[in-house]
Amino acid sequence: MLMYFRWSKPLDFFQTRSKSLLAAGLLTTMGLTGCSGLSFNSAGGPGAALESRLQAEPAACSAYRVAYVNGFKTHVDGMSEKQDTLQREGLDEFEASRKILASNGLGIDECMRPFCIIEPLQGGKLDSWCGYKVLKTDGPELYQWFEWTTVQP
pLDDT category at 34 given cuts 50, 70, 90 is very low
pLDDT score, position 85: 97
From CA 2, how far away is CA 9, in angstroms rounded?
A: 21
pLDDT score, position 13: 42
pLDDT score, position 112: 92
**Looking at residue 106, what DSSP letter applies?**
-
From CA 111, how far away is CA 65, in angstroms rounded?
A: 8
Q: Count how many domains the chain has.
A: 1
For residue 23, being part of any structural domain is answered with: no
Tens of pLDDT, residue by residue over 101-132, are 999 999 999 999 999 999 999 999 999 999 99
* Residue 62: count of CB within 10 angstroms of its CB: 15
Length of the chain: 153
For residue 25, being part of any structural domain is answered with: no
| DSSP reduced 3-state for 146 | strand
Tens of pLDDT, residue by residue over 55-83, are 999 999 999 999 999 999 999 999 999 99
For residue 135, being part of any structural domain is answered with: yes
Domain that holds residue 120: 3-18+45-150
Mean pLDDT of 42-57: 80
For residue 144, being part of any structural domain is answered with: yes
Its pTM surpasses 0.85? no
Mean pLDDT of 17-30: 32
